[in-house]
Structure 1
Amino acid sequence: MRGQNTIRWLTFFLSSLLLFILTGSMAFAQQSIIKYVQPFSGTSISTTLASQHVEDKTERLANTIPAVAPPFSMTQWTPQTQLSEKKCLAPYYYNNKKFYGIRASHWISGSCTQDYGSFTIMPIAGKLKTSPTDYAVDYAHTDEVATPAYYKTNLPGYNLLTEATATLRCGLIKITALKADSVYLLITPNSDQRKGYIKIDRQKGEISGYNPVHRIYQGWGQPAGFSGYFFIRINKGFTTSGVFTGASVSAHQSIKNQKDLGAYLGFKLQKGETINIYAGTSFTSITAAKLNLETEINTADFETVVAKTSQVWEQSLGQIKVSDPDEKNKRIFYTALYHAQQHPRLFNDVDGGYPQFAGNYIKKVLKKGNYYDDFSMWDIYRAQLPLIELLKPNLANDFANSLVLKGQQGGWLPIFPCWNSYTAAMIGDHATAFIASAYNKGIRNYDINEAYRLMRQNAFQMPDSVDYLNGKGRRGINSYLKYGYIPLEDSIPNAFHKKEQVSRTLEYAYDDYALASIAKDLGKEADYQQLLKRSLNYQHIFDPNVGMVRGRFANGSWYKPFHPDHREPYITEGTPRQYTFYVPHDMPGLIRLMGGRKNLENELDSLFHKKEYWHGNEPGHQIPFLYNYTSSPWKTQLQVSRIMAEEYGEGAGGLSGNDDAGQMSAWYVFAALGFYPVDPVSGNYQLTSPLFKQAVISFNNGKKLTITAIKKNKKSIYNAKIILNGKPFTQNQITHQLLVQGGELIFYLQDEPATL
């Protein structure tokens, strides 16, 4: 008996020592950049100043998750407090009281899509329970620790400590018994379609399975053509195992296509004993998931994986090093930089295999680079993808190549590719805008002729009825080509977002401008001239009588009545007043329509005075920077500073609304640095005043740019003068080429606008 107690004490001591080592490593990390990231930010109803007037609480949810994984991973690992893979329900909400396990998630951060192809691992103790209502357990945030590389929580109801870490395609979960007990692991593919499969190999200690993916938006619940596959290896032998469907348990070792199916494994653990759960994921096969696991983790211990993934984040976040006495602003900044590096999603296995785009379980193999999906394109082409172009051009190149591959395999360049499938979830044709933005910045290691062919097809052709219903091509393209705008008679019936004709016209005009820039460079003069002319189509839906964009019929008459500040059916997620300012490629032309620079300034003033600026409306993200086109650029500095203070904060409620795959966060990163890509295709950035005392950006060409703000006092926000590499810089915008050449950009800030 004494010998057994000695063994138990020794086991507990060693376990405690490992926890001490991990705690020490985490404490060491607290001296670095990763300590500033708040993964829970955006997981609760917003508490920011700007959100308090929003009555609909669903509009105040950022829908992010505390994702544990390296940047742009295949799978993010998250604590799960919410059942289902249904639309608009994230796996984790901070205010939920129950813990359902650690989920291998493919939730699109900050979105209102759905999780897909996921599975969950839940540890319980005592008696076997397989119904979620029975096994869900209370947990406390005081027991939670979360970084981009590590998650920990204590489950007092089970006396189990649960920890998780991850690599690009794999996860490692460690369960520690805090008292001697029977412990069970529940592994559930999270299908809400009564599909899926799981199998136990007791002899090898392995579990494998899959969860078929279904589409929403364009696709209406149809199979997406692939599954989320998993392969799990347990480092400790289990004494019992079986499968279940809901509360019904069976001794069988496999189950398929049942409601709430899963597998259970049983262990006898002494106090301090641990279980390590090694899990590989894939979108092609169980075999590939196993290979991913063997390649990325194999038998590495938990602490080693935490350390490696922490270092990956340190390097990635450390591309921008900010220095400032305000620790709060640094936490908001690095949390934003973390959120801006969740998507697009890595989709290929370590051997280069990935499922054919919009295919039917056909595996393709890459010749070079990596293949990515989940492009929330309507949102992220504005700032999140330009941020990647600036910091990680090689990754942006893989993104562009992935879009070309999708177009080749599916026949059409996708509009909003998610679930490795076509959707027409939002408006615009912004794969074109992104490729043009990357191309014009010299990111060109892909087949530009194929890219051009596909972009041109979207811009000039209408798909057949079957392809169109599946989400291919531009919605309303025939009307757009015929009239030079989309008239109200075309209600765009075959799309998730119907109507919205004015917004579509505005965004197609920008995409035409984007494609024109490539046509010119490739020597396609006829296309260039035609597309350049089409880029002015925004003029056709600008009503000079009201000084704003407005719904228009095919005969040229205007929609009545006109409500400039109401949500109208011809506008996407906004109002006519808000969308009038979406002409990023031709501000001089818009200024002429509005009656001159002073009128532009007056209209901007009116928008902000009436509190009609909506930061949650992506087409408005450029609006605060448009004062740079007036005689009062100081108002850009004023409004951007205000928005950063009001729309972003700390803690779980630190985002005012949907983060939209990192777009909202990328806006903050740019704004805090002092510049923003109003027109990403042009390669120009509009200047504002930087937030931090100093920021050093390290580019992948080996050069560094130091941005310094010399403030008259703590509250100084207005630019008095700017010095670039020792010389006065008097413009309101700066080029991409100038930035990546590195050097020193100094802003001298004062308390009052320079014009006063």
Structure 2
Amino acid sequence: MKLNRIFKIGSIGISFFLVFLVSCKTGNTAALEKEQLVDKVYPLLDTENSRWFFFSSASRPFGMMNLSPDSGINGDWGGGYKYNIDTIKGFSHIHEWQMSGLSVMPVTFTEASKATIFKDFYSKFSHEREKITPGYHFLKLDRYQITTELTSTKRIGFHRYTFPENVQKAILFNLNTILGPCENTDGTLDKDNSNELSGTFVMGITPRRPKPLKVFFKIKFNAPIASVEQDKSTGNYLVNLNKSEVKVLMKVGISYTSIENAVTNIQEELPHWDFDKVVTESKSEWNNLLGRIKVEGGTATDQRRFYTDLWHALQGRKIISDVNGAYPDNTGEKFRIGQIPLDANGKSKFNHYNSDSFWGAQWTINTLWGLVYPEMMEEFTHSLMQYYKDGGLIPRGPAGGNYTYVMTGASTTPFMVSAIQKGLVKEDLEAIYVALKKNHMLNGIMGKAGYEHTTNLGGGLKYYMENGFVPYPLPDGNFGLHQDGVSQTMEYAYQDWTLAQLAKKLNHQEDYNYFMARSKNYQNGFDPTTGWMRPKNVEGKWFENFDPYQYEHGFIESNSAQSTWFVPHDIEGLAELMGGKEKAATKLNTQFEVAKKLKFTSGTSHEAELHPEYSRIPINFGNQPSIQTSYIFNLLGRPDLTQYWTRNVVKETFSGLAPDTGYNGDEDQGLMGSLNVLLKIGLFQMNGGTEENPTYQIGSPIFNKVTIQLNPKYYKGKNFVIKAQNNSDENIYIHKVNFNKKPVEKFSLSHDEITNGGELILEMSKTKSEALRN
């Protein structure tokens, strides 16, 4: 198993990561290039451990269009762009959670090879002739000597192919194929006129997405189409082009509602044929979002890795609504086309989204989006409520306009409560509360375990409500995945606490008392004789032959040592169960000492968690259940240990730039990228920012200066600045804290303080300060 290593430029070839530079008309090219934060992004990070939705290149932030090359097509895990595979099998336009589709491949052929082109079309390529930057992908297909360039708008893919001269040119449309997580079937392609095509195909069901979804698309060329041929064996299509055309431009508009809306998407977003302009605009959009956080200091690699992490935080969770607000609704018995409400100008008020689970979002995007990208947090809240209006539940991971029931619990509750507590969502709060409360009751989403589509038993919620814990094993049978009672109990208890905070805000005192009482249920899983959370069977008897380092067995994608600390809402209460804060801090510190030997993760990939050695690690920063643990020390009166261990985790686990490592586990659509950003700037929210005027814990930033540009639509302040004076690899401890020239007694600031703007000054030192313990 390869361990984390720093990517060395000279060892692989400088052209490996070169960024395509669009010609600049201003004349001050050097100054312009210097300002481009997008050029710091390293898109190849961790691509040896890729999965279908992990890698993005020619896409916009949160865009419906996710155009990129595929070297692996058969399966979600390892599918899409995988660095160590040297063969391109197509360029597909949909890389999303449980969704895939519209794979195309430019080809050349002779009359002799044409007979096999539908089944024999893959091409080798070299990373030495590849250039990638957010919004643009360039590579050369060795077999055909075709130069391919990809870019996009939010909903439109834009291709530029440079063919060899005097050859037969064509583009293969693989509309009927296995592609990533699902099969594409029933593909059709029609020639509308000399330059345009249209078609449809169906994304088949997956074990996670229970209903098929039809995709509509429109194709426009800058050159005439000679002919369109369909292969009887595969059902796929070959679009023949004129020999005289060397450079071919192709627009691809998609929609999940109609071909007419695919056409509208093209008309609204890409009415011209200027490829370089789109690349420049894409680069500008990425720069603007990455530029919300400016960092100074650290090494060049530190900065490149930081902006790569921030890029990951913004590339997952994709739009599924058209530019006019039409969207696919698969939540009912029959498919319907929904419509997002329009504003006074006839524009949709928000976009509708596809998304992997929000499991772990309380420690990641809750904080990052809520502070730096509040418009996204507001928009996602409205999108989640639209699912409730359509299907009666707020999803925790919707795909194809439908529920998937991925993971467990009601993980969107902390996200939406955080949006409300931060003042990002101010209207219809009662309706939101009613929707969230339904999810926490029987027949709500909390009652379903992973991918449990037809019953409400796998979540064990009736036992949680009646007896105060979810038993393990569940006596009702097997329904879905992740039926791990202790983890479910702890997760529900935290989510109940967050809902209680909203009940309090809205003056629902009886509900507040009820959910606060439920939030104490985590205590029922603590075994004082072992000092760990421990499974109980339905009769309330402790699980026999208990091993706190045994993976799963009552704990979701974790072991007891990792998950015992999953009490974000009541660390003090957990510490009391352990004999006080000092004993709790000593216990957790010992776990970190052991975990350090394995670089704080269960190997370098999600699948490695099952390895007999890696699975027994007591802290795992490669998966969500224990990624908060270094900040627990702050709440145990040992901020020095938060500073020490967070800096160690960043250094050992999240500092490299290489295709074979990066997140060392499960990077669920930006969650781990978001975590990295927060650890590196020294801000964290233990309870996900769900209490009134949410609190941010202060940690040890790796940069000398961090400037967060605040969105004026939501916040009064212009900038929030963190300055770490005398910061270095050795000076990791904070000796003095001042905010706006006033001392900060504890290592925390409120949301209002931060968003009103100001300057946080941290005086760093090589030695820890006894005076600054909470």
Q: Same fold (TM over 0.5)?
A: yes
Helix, strand or coil: the match of 1:679?
A: coil
Give the 5 Å matches for 1:124-143. 124-127=107-110, 128=114, 131=117, 134-143=120-129
Q: Does 1:658 align with 2:646?
A: no
Q: Give the letter aligned to residue 423 of structure 1.
A: T
1:447 and 1:343 map into 2 onto residues whose CA distance is 27
What is the deviation of 1:229?
2.1
Helix, strand or coil: the match of 2:201?
A: strand
Deviations 1:486-512 (A, max 9, x none): 122525745432420100000000110
Which position in structure 1 is the counterpart of 2:365? Answer: 384
Which position in structure 2 is the counterpart of 1:710? Answer: 725
Residue 410 to residue 62, structure 1, CA distance change in 2 (3 Å): closer
Give the 5 Å matches for 1:64-463. 64-84=54-74, 86-108=75-97, 114=98, 116-127=99-110, 128=114, 131=117, 134-189=120-175, 191-192=177-178, 193=183, 195-201=185-191, 203-218=193-208, 222-224=210-212, 226-245=213-232, 248=233, 260-270=234-244, 273-324=246-297, 326-359=299-332, 360-367=334-341, 368-462=349-443
Q: Does 1:618 align with 2:624?
A: yes
Residue 472 to residue 553, structure 1, CA distance change in 2 (3 Å): closer
What is the deviation of 1:75?
2.1
Helix, strand or coil: the match of 1:346?
A: coil
1:300 and 1:357 map into 2 onto residues whose CA distance is 35
Unaligned runs of 5+ in 2: 1-18, 342-348, 596-617
Q: Does 1:514 align with 2:498?
A: yes
Contact 1:718/1:750 (8 A) holds in 2: yes
2:724 and 2:115 map into 1 onto residues whose CA distance is 59
1:63 and 1:203 map into 2 onto residues whose CA distance is 34
What is the deviation of 1:393?
1.6
Residue 366 to residue 495, structure 1, CA distance change in 2 (3 Å): same
Contact 1:90/1:107 (8 A) holds in 2: no
1:310 and 1:301 map into 2 onto residues whose CA distance is 15
Q: Does 1:538 align with 2:488?
A: no
Q: Give the letter aligned to residue 739 of structure 2.
A: L
**TM-score (ref. length: structure 2):** 0.86
What is the deviation of 1:241?
2.1
Deviations 1:72-109 (A, max 9, x none): 1112111111123x33242110111111232102334x
1:468 and 1:662 map into 2 onto residues whose CA distance is 25
Q: Give the letter aligned to residue 338 of structure 2.
A: K
Give the 5 Å matches for 1:41-80. 41-45=45-49, 64-80=54-70
Helix, strand or coil: the match of 2:686?
A: strand
1:397 and 1:20 map into 2 onto residues whose CA distance is 34
What is the deviation of 1:599?
0.9
Q: Give the letter aligned to residue 171 of structure 2.
A: L
Helix, strand or coil: the match of 2:185?
A: coil
Which position in structure 1 is the counterpart of 2:22? Answer: 22
Which position in structure 1 is the counterpart of 2:344? Answer: none
Residue 194 to residue 150, structure 1, CA distance change in 2 (3 Å): closer
Contact 1:68/1:151 (8 A) holds in 2: yes
Contact 1:413/1:431 (8 A) holds in 2: yes
Helix, strand or coil: the match of 1:173?
A: strand
Contact 1:63/1:658 (8 A) holds in 2: no
Helix, strand or coil: the match of 1:145?
A: strand
1:454 and 1:345 map into 2 onto residues whose CA distance is 23
2:52 and 2:534 map into 1 onto residues whose CA distance is 30
What is the deviation of 1:205?
2.1
Given candidates 33, 37, 46, the residue that maps to 2:37 is: 33
1:415 and 1:668 map into 2 onto residues whose CA distance is 23
Residue 157 to residue 432, structure 1, CA distance change in 2 (3 Å): same
Which position in structure 1 is the counterpart of 2:7? Answer: none
What is the deviation of 1:438?
1.1
Which position in structure 2 is the counterpart of 1:251? Answer: none
Give the 5 Å matches for 1:499-578. 499-578=483-562
Residue 383 to residue 238, structure 1, CA distance change in 2 (3 Å): same
Contact 2:695/2:751 (8 A) holds in 1: yes
Residue 691 to residue 386, structure 1, CA distance change in 2 (3 Å): same
Deviations 1:127-168 (A, max 9, x none): 336656521111000111111111101123212110010111
Helix, strand or coil: the match of 2:487?
A: helix
1:228 and 1:280 map into 2 onto residues whose CA distance is 11
Deviations 1:581-637 (A, max 9, x none): 010001111111110011111111121122221111202011011111234311111
Q: Which moved more, 1:146-155 or 1:677-686?
A: 677-686
Residue 420 to residue 721, structure 1, CA distance change in 2 (3 Å): same
Q: Which moved more, 1:208-217 or 1:715-724?
A: 208-217
Q: Which moved more, 1:449-458 or 1:288-297?
A: 449-458
Deviations 1:45-87 (A, max 9, x none): 4xxxxxxxxxxxxxx9797213321111112111111123x33
Helix, strand or coil: the match of 2:406?
A: coil
Q: Which moved more, 1:339-348 or 1:510-519?
A: 339-348
2:289 and 2:469 map into 1 onto residues whose CA distance is 43
1:37 and 1:348 map into 2 onto residues whose CA distance is 28
Residue 267 to residue 288, structure 1, CA distance change in 2 (3 Å): same
Unaligned runs of 5+ in 1: 1-18, 46-59, 109-113, 249-259
Contact 1:144/1:154 (8 A) holds in 2: yes
Deviations 1:237-280 (A, max 9, x none): 122321225xx4xxxxxxxxxxx432211224458x20000011
Residue 202 to residue 428, structure 1, CA distance change in 2 (3 Å): closer
Contact 1:712/1:751 (8 A) holds in 2: no
Residue 190 to residue 487, structure 1, CA distance change in 2 (3 Å): same
TM-align CA RMSD: 2.5
Helix, strand or coil: the match of 2:69?
A: strand
Helix, strand or coil: the match of 1:700?
A: coil
1:564 and 1:472 map into 2 onto residues whose CA distance is 29
Contact 1:400/1:446 (8 A) holds in 2: no
Residue 670 to residue 738, structure 1, CA distance change in 2 (3 Å): same
